[in-house]
Amino acid sequence: MSTDELLHLEIHDRRAFADGAAFGDVGAYERITATAHLAVDPQAPAQAGIVDLEHAPVNADGRVELASEVMLLTPAEADAGNRRLFFDFGNRGNKRALQYFNDAPASNDPLTGADAGNGFLMRRGYSVVWAGWQGDLLPGSGRSLLHLPVATRDGEAITGRVRGEFIVTERGVTTQPLSGAISTRSHPTVSMDPRDATFTRRRYADAPREEIGPERWAFARVERGEGIEVAGTEASVIPSATHVHLPEGFEPGWIYELVYTGRDPLVMGLGHVAVRDLVTFLRRSASADNPLAGRIERAYAWGRSQTGRAIRDFVWWGYNAAVGGGLVFDAVMPHVSGAGLLWMNHRFANGVTSAGQQYEVHDTPADHFPFSYAETTDHLTGRRDAILKRPETDPLVIHTQTATEYWQRRGSLVHTDTRGADLPQPDGVRVYLWSSSQHQADPLLTTPTRGVCQNLVNQVATSMLFRAALDALDAWASDGTPPPPSRVPLVADGTLVDVTGWREGFPPVPGVMLPREPNRLELFDFGARADEGVLDEFPPRVVDAEGYPVLVPVTDADGNDVAGVRAPTVAAPLGTYTGWNLRDRGQGHGALHLYTGSYLPFPDTPEEREVTGDPRTSVLERYTDAEAYVAAVEAACRALVAERFVLAEDVPRAVAAARDWGRPRHVTTLVGVPHPGTGTG
C-alpha cells in the first residue's frame, strides 16, 4: 500500500522565508507548517517488532493513528532548487540544521533573514524538513511534536517499573518531573504512597546507593504565586502523579534515582514509522497536498547526538526501506552519536534521556551491540550483527564524531570490533574524527566559560566541516564521486590507545587534573524480558564489569589529537583542546562532565612558560605576532580545502575569525601588549 493511502498532510500556513530574500541563483524560499496524519496497519510486516503496537487503539479501519508536526523550508519556485530533501532529525524536537550548517542562531521558529545565517542550505537549493519523531515531548518552546497513542491491555492501563534520574547544579531545587526533563512527558505513578517506590542518591555512578526514606519525600509538585494574606510569594505543595518532591532540596552534583511503578506507556517505536512514511510521501507522492510533489530526486538525513543515534537506529531496524519499495534516505550523516543506538522501542521509554555517560545515566541500554556499520561478532554474547545489513536499502553513510565521543560515548567501537581491534568499514561508509573538538560546537560561541567544570569549555569551531561533508555526501549519492577516505585513529598505527597509553603522551599541563579513564561500557542485564522491549531490573545487573574496550586518540606534545581531521583552530592552535572536561568540586568532582571538552590556553610568552613550568611552547614562540597566527590559520584552511574537508567559501570566514588572536573564542593577554624582541601581539 502506498503512503498516499496512509498519510494526509494538512497544511496550516505558507509564508515567505527571510522576508522573500533571494539566495543566490536559487532565489526566494517559503516556509510551510503542516501536520502529517498517519494511519498504520499494526499487523503489517513493515511495522513488525514495534513494542506494544498490538496494544494501541485502532480506528474503524483497524489502523493505528498518529500525527507529526512538520515544518519545511523550500524554494518558492518549484524548479529552482537542487531536487534534494534534507531531513533534520530535530534533537529533542529542536530544529538545529540552520544553526550548524548556516551558522545561524538556534531557533525553533526560523523565519527571518537572521535565521538563515549565511544561507548555505538555501544557496545550495535544499528543501529542509523538520518533523516530530520523539513522541514523549511536551508542547512548548516551538518543539516539533509527534502525537502517539497510549498502549492499554483490554481497556486497562499497562503498568511496569520505571526509572528516573535527577542531577541538579544549584541549591534550592526541591521538585523534579519524573521524566527528569521539563520538556518531557512523565509516566504517572500508579501509587502515590512513597513506600511503594525506592528513592536513592549516590555520589558517583558506581558508588553505593543511599536510600532516602519515604517520610522525607512525596509524589508532589510546588506551585508559587503572589500571596493574599501574606505579602510576597506563597507556595503550595500539591500531590502530583508526575513529580517527585524533596523538601530538604536536591544536593547539587549528587545522582538521585527513583524507581517506581508507572502506567500508560506510549508506543514510542512508531517514531521511526513517522519519519519513514513522511519522507517517502514528500519525495514520491504526487498527491495535491504534497508541497514537494515532483521536486525531489534524493533525500538525505542529518542528526547530531541523540538524533545521530536515531539515524543509526532507524537504519539498523530496517526503516530505510520505504513502503512500496525503494530507499527512504539515499545517504545519512549521523554526527556525535558515538557507538550508540536510540533504544526508544521499549515499554516506558524516555526519549529525552541521554545515552549514558561516565557520571550521568551511566547504566542505560542505549549503547548496545551492534556498535559498528561493519558486521562483526560480539565476543561477550556470541551475537553477530551490523548496523548496515540490508544492501538493497542501506544508505551511504558519513559518520562524524569529535574527541568527546571517544571519551564519553565509546566512539572507538564505531570502527573497532568488540575486543578493540581495528574494524574496516563497508565501502559505503566514511568515518571521520574531528580532532580535539567537543560534542557540541556552537558556531556563534563567544567567550568560553567553565560552568560546573574545572576547565574552560572547548571552543574549536567545526561548522565549516559540516558544509564540506554535505557537499561530499551529495556528490557521492548523485554521481558516485567518493568522499575522502575515512580518517580516524587506529590501533595499527598507534594513534588509538588505552588510557595508560594516552597518559604517557599527554603533556603535564600545570594545575590540570586528568581523567581517570574514558566512560566504560559494561555488559548489563535489564531483566528477563529485555529482548522483548520490557526493562524490569533497576538498577541493572552487571554481567561483565570489564565489558568492551573503550580506546581514545593519542595526542601530540601539545595535547591535541594526532589523528583525524584537524579544524583550523586545531591545526593552528592557541591551546590544548580536549574531548573531556572534569566536574568541579561539589558537582561530582573528578568525573567526566556530560559531553564537555576542555580548552587549556597555551602560555602567552616564553617568560610565562618558564614561570609556570608549562612544557608546551608559548603562543609567541609559535607565531611572532597576530598576523602570523592569521597566516597559519589561512594555510591550515587551504590545506583542508585541497583535501575536500573545507569549502573555499569558508576560508575568508576562518581568517576573519582568527583576527585579534581568535578572540572572543580564545583567552589571551597578547592584544596590544608589547613583547621585547617579538614585536607587538
The pairing of beta strand 396-402 with beta strand 429-434: parallel
Band (217; pLDDT cuts 50, 70, 90): very high
pLDDT of 655 over the 80 cut: yes
Q: What count of other Cβ atoms lies within 10 Å of the Cβ of residue 270?
A: 28
Instruction: Collapse the DSSP code of 25 into the 3-class scheme (helix H, G, I; strand E, B; otherwise coil) and give the result.
Output: helix
Question: What is the distance of C-alpha 575 from the center of its chain?
Answer: 26
* Cis peptide bond N-terminal to 664, omega within 30: yes
Q: Which residue has the cell 541521554?
A: 354
Give me the mean pLDDT over the 271-275 stretch: 98
pLDDT of 671 over the 70 cut: no
> Is residue 375 exposed (0-12), middle (13-18) or buried (19+ Cβ within 10 Å)?
middle
Q: Which of 316, 303, 305, 274 is nearest to 147 (CA)?
A: 274
pLDDT of 228 over the 90 cut: no
pLDDT of 246 over the 60 cut: yes
pLDDT of 73 over the 50 cut: yes
DSSP result, 46-79: GGTT-TTGGGS---TTS-EEEEEEEEEEEESSTT
Note the pLDDT tens digit of each residue in 587-633.
Answer: 999 999 999 999 999 999 999 999 999 999 999 999 999 999 999 99
Sequence-ordered list of residues with C-beta below 8 angstroms from that of 195, at least 6 positions apart, any chain? 214
pLDDT of 679 over the 60 cut: no
Q: Which of 363, 361, 168 is nearest to 254 (CA)?
A: 168
In angstroms, the CA 274 to CA 6 distance is 11
> Is residue 621 exposed (0-12), middle (13-18) or buried (19+ Cβ within 10 Å)?
middle
Which segments of 567-613 does DSSP mark as H helices, in order?
568-571, 606-612
DSSP secondary structure letter of residue 284: H
Point out which residues pair with 7 in neighbouring strands. 38
DSSP secondary structure letter of residue 554: -
In angstroms, the CA 278 to CA 413 distance is 32
Band (582; pLDDT cuts 50, 70, 90): very high
Q: What count of other Cβ atoms lies within 10 Å of the Cβ of residue 673?
A: 11
Q: Which of 292, 520, 560 is nearest to 409 (CA)?
A: 520
Point out which residues pair with 578 in neighbouring strands. 598
Give percent of the chain with pLDDT exceeding 70.
Answer: 97
Band (347; pLDDT cuts 50, 70, 90): very high
Q: Which of 132, 114, 113 is nearest to 29 (CA)?
A: 113
Residue 131: C-alpha distances to residues 101, 228, 279, 394 (Å)? 18, 45, 10, 22
Each as own residue / partner, the long-range contacts of residues 535-539 (CB below 8 Å, 24 or more positions apart, any chain) are: 535/161, 535/346, 535/347, 535/348, 535/365, 536/160, 536/161, 538/161, 538/163, 538/259, 539/209, 539/257, 539/363
Q: Which of 338, 301, 335, 306 is nearest to 319 (CA)?
A: 301
pLDDT of 326 over the 80 cut: yes
Give me the mean pLDDT over the 441-456 stretch: 91
Note the pLDDT tens digit of each residue in 117-150.
Answer: 999 999 999 999 999 999 999 999 999 999 999 9
Give me the mean pLDDT over the 220-248 stretch: 89
Half-sphere exposure for 546 (CA within 13 Å, toward CB)? 6
Note the pLDDT tens digit of each residue in 299-323.
Answer: 999 999 999 999 999 999 999 999 9
pLDDT of 252 over the 70 cut: yes
pLDDT at 675: 40
Q: What count of other Cβ atoms lies within 10 Å of the Cβ of residue 551?
A: 24
Give me the mean pLDDT over the 226-235 stretch: 76
Residue 52: C-alpha distances to residues 48, 310, 345, 350, 543 (Å)? 11, 19, 9, 15, 27
Give percent of the chain with pLDDT exceeding 90.
Answer: 92
Note the pLDDT tens digit of each residue in 162-214.
Answer: 999 999 999 999 999 999 999 999 999 999 999 999 999 999 999 999 999 99
Sequence-ordered list of residues with C-beta below 8 angstroms from that of 458, at least 6 positions apart, any chain? 404, 436, 437, 438, 441, 448, 577, 578, 579, 581, 596, 597, 598, 599
Instruction: Collapse the DSSP code of 647 into the 3-class scheme (helix H, G, I; strand E, B; otherwise coil) and give the result.
Output: coil
Backbone CA torsion sign across 216, 219, 225, 231: negative
In angstroms, the CA 210 to CA 219 distance is 19
Give me the mean pLDDT over the 312-341 stretch: 97
Helix H, strand E, coil C: the string for 429-496 is EEEEEECCCCCCCCCCCCCCCCCCECCEECCCCCHHHHHHHHHHHHHHHHHCCCCCCCECCCCCCCCE
Q: What count of other Cβ atoms lies within 10 Å of the Cβ of residue 216?
A: 12
pLDDT at 2: 54
In angstroms, the CA 187 to CA 492 distance is 48
Note the pLDDT tens digit of each residue in 374-416.
Answer: 999 999 999 999 999 999 999 999 999 999 999 999 999 999 9
Better-predicted residue by pLDDT, 226 or 37: 37
Give me the mean pLDDT over the 9-16 stretch: 98
Largest CA distance in the chain: 85
pLDDT at 672: 53
Q: Which residue has the cell 580516524?
A: 488
Half-sphere exposure for 649 (CA within 13 Å, toward CB)? 13
In angstroms, the CA 669 to CA 681 distance is 9
pTM exceeds 0.85: yes
Q: Which of 337, 329, 348 is nearest to 313 (CA)?
A: 337
> Is residue 582 exposed (0-12), middle (13-18) or buried (19+ Cβ within 10 Å)?
buried
Residue 234: C-alpha distances to residues 117, 170, 495 (Å)? 44, 21, 59
In angstroms, the CA 652 to CA 473 distance is 23
Give me the mean pLDDT over the 79-85 stretch: 97
In angstroms, the CA 578 to CA 553 distance is 10
In angstroms, the CA 297 to CA 126 distance is 11
Each as own residue / partner, the long-range contacts of residues 209-216 (CB below 8 Å, 24 or more positions apart, any chain) are: 209/257, 209/539, 212/246, 212/256, 216/246, 216/247, 216/248
